[in-house]
Structure 1
Amino acid sequence: MSATTIPAAPARSAETAHALGRRRRRKDALIRWLCLAATLLGLAFLASILLTLLWRGLPALDGLIFTRDFEPTTYGDDTLPRGGLRHAILGTLMQTALATAIGTPIGLLVGTYLSEYARNSALGQAVRFVSDVLLSAPSILIGLFIYQLVVLPMGGFSGLAGVLALAVIVIPVVVRTTEDMLSLLPNTLREAVVALGAPKWKMITLVAWRAALSGIVTGVLLAFARIAGETAPLLLTSFGNGVLSNDLGRAMASLPIAIYQQANSGFPDLIAIAWTGALLVTAGVLLINILARVLLRKKG
């Protein structure tokens, strides 16, 4: 019997593999360069925005911005800014702080419910879907909702309406962050606590929340940073005010609205103050985002 002849491998198989490797390396290099170019383009746009804010906002940044309220301009010397943004800064801090204080507990409890009690239930899926829709909804729609629900029945604009509109924006952000952070915790941690005889609510409040605390705080800071720059919902709710006021039952000033109003005034001094307000908002949001990233990195 003749021995079975094993066919030799094709002579060009090595060359084909080598050519295929070259094509893959070229495609990989092309994708790398495209990603790098897109990154540099995005950084260039970001740098141009920041440099423009510094160039236009720093000249009017002085002590008067933080100590004086809005003052009408005159037709005299319009090269120097008049007035300040004290009323808008305090109004923004008050409204965003109250909105965060209202929206955070609601978002925390809803996110905990979705993660710990209704992870795979039909109700949980429905709540999660509504939260995701609310998270991506345009903020002006939320402003219209609060306008119909609060502003019209109260007979006028108010800081309370602005707080409620901002709180609605905070809720889905905290819901998503809380659910994601709690879902990352290992089930063995929950089982160990329950095995020791602790009820589920103690396991959540004393163990799960503490383990996910930095991530939850990060979500709260991101929500705070988002509402700090919102303009559309406040135009329909708190509307703005030219004087310092802490009365939530009346129209209340805020930095985004002050920027919008003074930038459209046509007077150089007011436009300079608007640029300074934009610089303050950007700097505040940037600092909050950096703080949130630092907390998230510490958690990791």
Structure 2
Amino acid sequence: MSAAELTQDDFPREAAVPVRRLTQRRLPRWAPWLFLVVAAAVGSGIGAAAGLKSHLQWGLIAAAVFVVGQWAVSASVEGRRRATDRLALSLVGASFLLALVPLVAVLAYTISKGAGKLNGYFLTHSMNGVSALDNTGGVYHALIGTLEQVGIATLISVPVALLTAVYLVEYGRGKLAKAITFFVDVMTGIPSIVAGLFILSFWLLTLGFNYSGFAGALALAILMMPVVVRSTEDMLRLVPDELREASLALGVPRWRTILKVVLPTALSGITTGVMLAIARVAGETAPVLLLVFGNDRINNDPFSGPQSSLPLFVFEEYGKGNTFSTERAWAGALLLIIIVMLMNVAARVLARLKAPKNSR
């Protein structure tokens, strides 16, 4: 039989292979929003029926209903695999919101308590001659002290910390680098009162200097150094080795490679680490209480005489225990938050402007 005379019936028929569907049922995109509305209604109903007065408890119940309800519906419609993915996403989102609640609550409560007192008069006057029961006085002397003390601490700690991190990442080998890393880790957990006692015993009692803003800045610098070293070290390790090798291959010295290639590449992360360190020390009270001593008058010289600071101002005013002093304390706390937020915004803008641009 020739090939032309063959028909389809002459070939053996293979068993039909079942074709699996490449698509499956999916919940619509608006389904999570519907689950959120239903969960909020159910959580509010359960909270009201149970007599719970805290809206936070209502929110926790609604979050639990949302997570469980979305998983159950997704498992019945989309399958267990997709439902597990939605469950993980819901848990991550709920954890984020749960962590955000105390931060927003603290900020909102501070604004509600201190916004009414925070005005031009409060920012331009000191507490000189103001008694605890007077509805006058301001925070100018404490604001000057905080800016000077934190500024001096930053000028002292940041260069030392940057050089230490560069040494550990670029040059550090052997026992010396391990010893430095160990002591940096130990210093990260040092309480602020210990740093204040060290400067008190060394700078004031041993060397004989007087109470001053500079003494407080030394203690704050000790607290800042390990934070900046750790964050800078992590950022420098994230810089690709190919950038270093390309610069060295062109004959650029290693120190210039670090200065012109490595540090600019990691500038954004380094700036963030510095801001975290500043935010930490800006609210320290114990070193200031031990070393700066406090002063109701304006002292613009951080190297001579006692000064005040915003944390110390808040501590002293709240301790007086009357209505007017409490209002001044909340206003000082709000001003401290605003300063830290402005520093963070300025640092991020500066890091974005100085970051290396991608070549096109």
Q: TM-score range by the shorter chain?
A: 0.7 to 0.9
Matches within 5 A, 1:200-215: 200-215=254-269
Deviations 1:132-174 (Å, cap 9, x if unpaired)?
2212222121111111111223264221210101111121122
| Greater alpha carbon shift after TM alignment, 93-102 vs 242-251 | 242-251
Q: Is the 2:143–2:309 Cα contact (8 Å) retained in structure 1?
A: yes
Q: Which structure is larger by alpha-carbon Rg, 1 or 2?
A: 2
CA shift, 1:38, in A, is: 3.2
Residue 115 of structure 2 corresponds to residue 58 of structure 1: yes
Residue 339 of structure 2 corresponds to residue 284 of structure 1: yes
Residue number in structure 2 paired with 1:142 = 195
Residue number in structure 1 paired with 2:319 = 264
Q: Is the 1:108–1:178 Cα contact (8 Å) retained in structure 2?
A: yes
Picking from 282, 294, 305, the partner of 1:240 is 294
Secondary structure in structure 2 of the residue aligned to 1:209 = helix
Residue number in structure 2 paired with 1:167 = 221
Secondary structure in structure 2 of the residue aligned to 1:253 = coil
Secondary structure in structure 1 of the residue aligned to 2:295 = coil
Picking from 326, 330, 355, the partner of 1:275 is 330
Q: Is the 2:268–2:352 Cα contact (8 Å) retained in structure 1?
A: no
Deviations 1:101-141 (Å, cap 9, x if unpaired)?
111110010010001001x4222122112112212222121
State the TM-score, normalizing by the size of structure 2.
Answer: 0.70
Matches within 5 A, 1:211-230: 211-230=265-284
Work out which structure has the larger RCO, using CA pairs closer than 8 Å and 6 or more positions apart in sequence: 1
Q: Is the 1:87–1:253 Cα contact (8 Å) retained in structure 2?
A: yes
Q: For residue 249 of structure 2, what is the amino acid of its counterpart?
A: A
Let me know the Cα RMSD of the aligned residues: 2.5
Q: Following the alignment from structure 1 to structure 2, what is the Cα–Cα distance between the partners of residues 82 and 63?
A: 12
Matches within 5 A, 1:34-53: 34-53=91-110
Cα 1:181/1:42, change in 2 over 3 Å: closer
Give structure 1 stretches of 5+ with no counterpart.
Answer: 1-17
| Greater alpha carbon shift after TM alignment, 254-263 vs 154-163 | 154-163
Q: Following the alignment from structure 2 to structure 1, what is the Cα–Cα distance between the partners of residues 229 and 314?
A: 30
Q: How many residues align?
A: 277
Residue number in structure 1 paired with 2:204 = 151
Q: Following the alignment from structure 1 to structure 2, what is the Cα–Cα distance between the partners of residues 69 and 150?
A: 28
Residue number in structure 1 paired with 2:154 = 100
Residue 187 of structure 2 corresponds to residue 129 of structure 1: no
Cα 1:278/1:189, change in 2 over 3 Å: same
Cα 1:69/1:100, change in 2 over 3 Å: same
Q: For residue 93 of structure 1, what is the amino acid of its counterpart?
A: L
